Structure 1
Amino acid sequence: MILIKKKNEKIVETLIKLVGILSIMPVFFIIGYIIYKGIPAISWDFIMDMPKDGMRAGGIYPAIIGTLLLTLGTILVSVPFGILTGIYLVEYAKDNFLTRIINLTIINLAGIPSIIYGLFGMALFVIFLGFGVSIISGALTLGIMCLPVIITSTREALLSIPKGLREASLALGATKWETITKIVLPAALPGTLTGVILSISRAAGETAPIMFTAVAFYLPFLPESPWDQVMALPYHLYVISTQVPNMPIQNMEGTLFILVVITIGFNLLGAAVRYKFNKKS
């Protein structure tokens, strides 16, 4: 009987490993294909030059800078508000019908299509508040889109911390805020950073929200203020793939490669920070 159980357990373990490998293989295949096709199209001029001839020539420097600016703006908008909201819901808000409705609403907001956020951002920031199509409108829209994931991950990370840690800190004379900032939040930071990484990586590659709020079809110069329009890699890739006839395939492959590199770069940076805090704790 014991041998049969061990044999069945081995079979199940093998099947789980096989499913895991099969799930990961398409990701590596896609990334490998992008690298294989994209690297030959990469050059210093392609990265650092302004676009020319209706984007059929020149480089993608404004699109790279625009993507980085929008992503940085998204981080500044979503991360502080998302983490503070998660702290409030767990540490300060009472567990009642209203807070349960709020938590359910936040979870549902995470599943709304990104184009809805784009239309909302256009209505609120571009038209109603008069920010126009600009970096700040795009960053605010992307920040709102990222908030549900960051709030949810922060909330779940804080809930996973044992109440005994809080009680011990309070018993030693620490205030509630000192307990949160010095005991609870550092312990929950790795889980919180997971949500931040996922949401920011998603924002860096989104097209629909910035299409209505931040980007322009063709801008062969850099923005001078947060109120200016920008080019961005996701929208640039969409445009040159669908709207520009006779576009060299190398430009599309090179743009896709740079976008993937930036997205993976944000993931690796966040993973490194998370590993550092995991090591400290």
Structure 2
Amino acid sequence: MTSIFDRPLKARTLPGLSPRRRTANSVANLLVSLSIVIALAPLLWVLWSVVAKGFEAITSSAWWTHSQAGMTAFASGGGAYHAIVGTLLQGLACAAISVPIGIMVAIYLVEYGGGSRLGRLAGFMVDILSGVPSIVAALFIYALFVATLGFPRSQFAASLALVLLMLPVIVRATEEMLRIVPIDLREASYALGVTKWKTIARIVIPTGLSGIITGIMLAVARVMGETAPLLILVGYSQTINWDIFRGFMGTLPGMMYDQASAGAGVNPVPTDRLWGAALTLILMIAFINIGARVVSRYFAPKNS
């Protein structure tokens, strides 16, 4: 007598799709593919236009080693070295202020006061900041930092406005990465007698560090292209200024605005500079995004 377990298994057969379902599936695939093409077409068009019109400017060695000091609007020559330096200084100043604050706010929301009244208020304010336009942040800093406190217009004032735009991105990215860390890791650390702050510093944060770094770099890339705070809080300079607390400073968005005001589209010299500055900014942001992917892969937890 044979058992039921000794009988050979029959191949599982699935009924075929009806013609109506196959038609609906084909239509859905077509609509999704068409939506992707429609979404990518403007992006590729803009990218091709910037590369085609700005490639000639960035291939010059003077573009990366010289500033626009002493150059007039219609005189060819000079480069974007001063604007590249100013953009990098702006990004570093913003990151130095917003990264510690953003990470600590996220740690408080996840580990300490997520359900408290202060935690709910902090989360609500982060949501509000995520929707604040850049020009509103610039006007707030101008009213508080320049008009009320009497500090001069400077790159530091512009960085403070950009910090308001970076904070919600860093807080939300860090918060999501801390939430996906398994609770078992925290409980195992507590069971060994490790204090809570050491558990956060040595277990929770290193586990989610790859995503945190990615969020920080993406936030830096976002603020590097903002123009409104620069127009309100700091003027544009054609020379290099290493002091972020005083004087005008050149940046790539400021250079684009300056060349557009100087006759870009009418005269070929400012036109080439404008497209060159735009392509340089795109390349810098692309390198930051690529760096974020590389760093996130490096710090990602290794599977044993």
Q: Is the 8 A contact 2:83 2:251 kept in 1?
A: yes
Rg: which structure is higher?
2
1:280 CA displacement: 3.7
Residue 149 to residue 34, structure 1, CA distance change in 2 (3 Å): same
Q: CA RMSD in A?
A: 2.4
Are residues 195 and 231 of structure 1, via their aligned partners in 2, closer, same or farther at CA, if it must alter by over 3 Å?
same
Match of 1:221 in 2: 239
Q: Distance in 1 between matches of 2:66 and 2:148?
A: 36
- Report the TM-score when normalising by structure 2: 0.82
Output the TM-score relative to the length of structure 1: 0.88
1:44 is matched with which residue? 61
Shift of 1:233: 0.8
Taking the aligned partners of 1:78 and 1:17, their CA distance within structure 2 comes to: 39
Larger deviation, residues 1-10 vs 257-266: 1-10
Shift of 1:115: 0.3
Q: Once the two structures are superposed, what CA deviation does each residue of 1:241-273 show, in whole Å capped at 9, x if it has no partner? A: 135475422111111111111121221112211
Q: Tell me, yes or no, if the aligned pair for 1:149 and 1:199 is still in contact at 8 Å.
A: yes
Paired position in structure 2 for 1:3: 17
Question: Structure 2: which 5+ runs fail to align?
Answer: 1-14
- Secondary structure of the 1:3 match is coil
Task: State which drifts further: 202-211 or 169-178.
Answer: 169-178
1:254 is matched with 276
Superposed CA offset, 1:161-207 (max 9, x none): 23222112211222211211222112222332343233211110000
**SS class of match (2:244):** coil
| Identity rate, percent | 34
Q: What count of residue pairs does the alignment treat as equivalent?
A: 279
Deviation of residue 231 (structure 1)?
Answer: 0.9
How is 1:5-20 mapped onto 2 (pairs within 5 angstroms)? 7=22, 12=28, 15-20=31-36
Separation of aligned partners in 1, 2:30 and 2:190: 48
- Cα distance between partner residues in 2 of 1:136 and 1:277: 31
Specify the alignment match of 1:265 in structure 2: 287
Matched residue, 1:81: 101
Would the alpha carbon gap of residues 251 and 98 (structure 1) be closer, same or farther in structure 2, given more than 3 Å must change?
same
Q: CA deviation at 1:11?
A: 5.7
Q: Which residues of structure 1 form unaligned runs of 5+?
A: none
Distance 1:15 1:106 in 2: 36
Q: Could you say if the C-alpha distance between residues 171 and 126 of structure 1 is closer, same or farther in structure 2, counting changes exceeding 3 Å?
A: same
- Which of the pair is proportionally richer in helix? 1
CA, structure 1 residues 128+29, in 2 after alignment: closer, same or farther (shift >3 Å)? same
Deviation of 1:17 after TM superposition, in Å, equals 4.6
Pairwise CA distance, 1:125: 2.4
- Structure 1 partner of 2:45: 29
Amino acid across the alignment from 1:47: W
Q: Which moved more, 1:4-13 or 1:185-194?
A: 4-13
